[in-house]
């Protein structure tokens, strides 16, 4: 091809790199990410945080520039022509101007396609963030949950079917029959769910994604319980229903709507007026009640944690050591008490991790059993401990706030000595 030197040539190279990388779409990046997983002999169903970060242009480009990107992911992008080093101008590799253009194009594509914001969308609710934390813990404890493996027949890898001139798989021969017998393909030669190919050989995921997702049920339940989302008929603990009844605001006027609103929107009802609230929570004084309401609505930044609370600007994340639920973290307006939400969640995740590791000693068949069993023990233990600690805290507050009577008080039944 004709080369142009000097400033014009550098500009042409920059624009070529920019235009090429800017034009790469979200689905191109998704396919490359899945291909990178295949090359690493991992299942395409990765931890959601990995999937999101692995398809954000700014993140992947920065890692390539720093030389810390996963080599299989870089190879997958190279195969599709949008890694940093490949040239779009017919050269063996991209020059400096073209690489700069590619970097700027990736940043521009990120802004246009809202890729970075997809990370926020992934984490913008307590339940979602809890799910991500749980998945990271699972992946750390038992990486095989998200891995694939080469399938063998008579001790040998099974080769991917060859195709005829029209691109149709050739459905005959020993390799074809072996792939059918192993459930890798159907009789028409189509790969089945969970099956991929690496270097011309079939690979299959070790665990079904639905089964792995089941390991998140109890950790999710722990968070939802702590948020007050597990009460389908109304509000509990001094809170109104999301759709309050006129006769009794703690009861829902529409149970189906209550369930749907809590499940899909994660909403909870408002605090009852204090005179009604104190009937349920006599341990909370009116001053404490008002202070907590002020804390809930406060959006002013406060990074000084020495006074017992903090508040990031905008109120996106705040915390206190002495709210009406004791110590708590508040994320996007959702209260996560330490005793009744964060501790049960932590013990459930910890139980799941411990169960997975114990299950690994008995082979793959026991991994899921161990994880689910550990989650159940962690959930029950965490809930019991959290409820007990919260009851102790409330009782202590009741005792501290109880009026002290004099021995000479005619209403006192005690005997002064």
| Residues near 145 by beta carbon (within 8 Å), at least 6 away in sequence | 138, 139, 206, 207, 212, 215, 356, 367
State residue 347's pLDDT score: 98
Residue 403 reports pLDDT greater than 70: no
Say if strands 152-153 and 309-311 run parallel, antiparallel, or are unpaired: unpaired
SS3 category, 240 = coil
Average pLDDT over residues 309-322: 92
356 to 29, 142, 160, 213, 217: CA distances (angstroms): 32, 7, 33, 14, 15
Residue range 195-245, pLDDT digits in tens:
999 989 999 999 999 999 999 999 999 999 999 999 999 999 999 999 999
- Between residues 297 and 217, the one the model is more confident about: 217
| Rounded CA separation 60/67 (Å) | 11
Average pLDDT over residues 251-273: 94
Residue 417 reports pLDDT greater than 50: no
Mean pLDDT across the chain: 92
Q: Is the dihedral of CA 356, 362, 365, 370 positive or negative?
A: negative
Residue 409 reports pLDDT greater than 80: no
- 414: confidence class by pLDDT, cuts 50, 70, 90: very low
- Between residues 393 and 299, the one the model is more confident about: 393
| Rounded CA separation 228/194 (Å) | 37
Residue range 154-179, pLDDT digits in tens:
999 999 999 988 888 999 999 999 99
Residue 401 reports pLDDT greater than 90: no
| Rounded CA separation 333/299 (Å) | 10
| Residues near 133 by beta carbon (within 8 Å), at least 6 away in sequence | 349
- 89: confidence class by pLDDT, cuts 50, 70, 90: confident
Residue range 334-358, pLDDT digits in tens:
999 999 999 999 999 999 999 999 9
Residue 402 reports pLDDT greater than 90: no
Residue range 49-69, pLDDT digits in tens:
999 999 999 999 999 999 999
Q: What percent of the chain has pLDDT over 90?
A: 80
| Rounded CA separation 325/281 (Å) | 10
The CA radius of gyration of the chain, in Å to the nearest whole number, is 29
Least confident of 35-39, 72-76, 405-409: 405-409
Domain ranges of the chain: 8-123, 148-205, 208-219+280-403
State residue 27's pLDDT score: 95
State residue 249's pLDDT score: 96
Predicted model pTM: 0.87
Q: What percent of the chain has pLDDT over 70?
A: 95
């Amino acid at each position: 091809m004709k080369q142009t030197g000097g400033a014009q040539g550098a500009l042409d190279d920059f624009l070529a790199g920019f235009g090429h990388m800017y034009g790469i779409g979200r689905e191109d990046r998704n396919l490359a990410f899945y291909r990178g997983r295949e090359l690493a002999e991992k299942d395409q169903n990765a931890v959601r945080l990995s999937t999101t970060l692995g398809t954000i242009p700014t993140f992947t480009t920065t890692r390539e520039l720093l030389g810390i990107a996963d080599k299989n992911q870089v190879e997958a992008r190279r195969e599709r022509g949008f890694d940093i080093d490949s040239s779009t101008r017919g050269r063996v590799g991209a020059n400096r101007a073209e690489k700069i253009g590619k970097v700027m194009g990736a940043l521009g594509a990120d802004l246009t396609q809202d890729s970075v914001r997809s990370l926020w969308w992934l984490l913008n609710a307590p339940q979602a963030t809890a799910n991500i934390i749980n998945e990271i813990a699972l992946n750390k404890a038992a990486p095989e949950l998200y891995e694939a493996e080469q399938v063998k027949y008579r001790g040998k890898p099974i080769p991917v079917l060859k195709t005829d001139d029209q691109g149709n798989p050739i459905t005959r021969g020993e390799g074809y029959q072996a792939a059918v017998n192993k459930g890798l393909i159907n009789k028409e030669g189509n790969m089945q769910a969970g099956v991929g190919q690496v270097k011309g050989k079939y690979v299959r995921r070790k665990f079904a994604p639905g089964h792995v997702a089941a390991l998140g049920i109890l950790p999710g339940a722990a968070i939802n319980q702590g948020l007050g989302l597990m009460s389908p008929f109304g509000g509990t603990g001094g809170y109104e229903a999301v759709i309050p009844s006129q006769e009794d605001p703690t009861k829902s006027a529409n149970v189906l709507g209550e369930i749907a609103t809590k499940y899909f929107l994660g909403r909870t009802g408002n605090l009852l007026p204090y005179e009604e609230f104190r009937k349920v929570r006599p341990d909370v004084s009116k001053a404490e009640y008002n202070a907590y309401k002020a804390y809930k609505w406060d959006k002013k930044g406060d990074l000084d944690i020495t006074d017992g609370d903090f508040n990031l600007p905008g109120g996106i994340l705040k915390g206190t050591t002495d709210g009406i639920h004791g110590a708590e973290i508040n994320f996007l307006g959702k209260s996560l008490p330490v005793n009744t939400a964060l501790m049960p969640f932590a013990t459930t995740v910890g139980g799941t991790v411990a169960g997975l590791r114990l299950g690994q000693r008995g082979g793959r068949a026991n991994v899921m059993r161990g994880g689910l069993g550990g989650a159940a023990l962690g959930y029950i233990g965490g809930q019991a401990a959290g409820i007990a600690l919260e009851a102790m805290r409330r009782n202590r507050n009741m005792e501290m706030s109880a009026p002290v009577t004099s021995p000479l008080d005619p209403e006192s039944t005690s005997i002064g000595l």
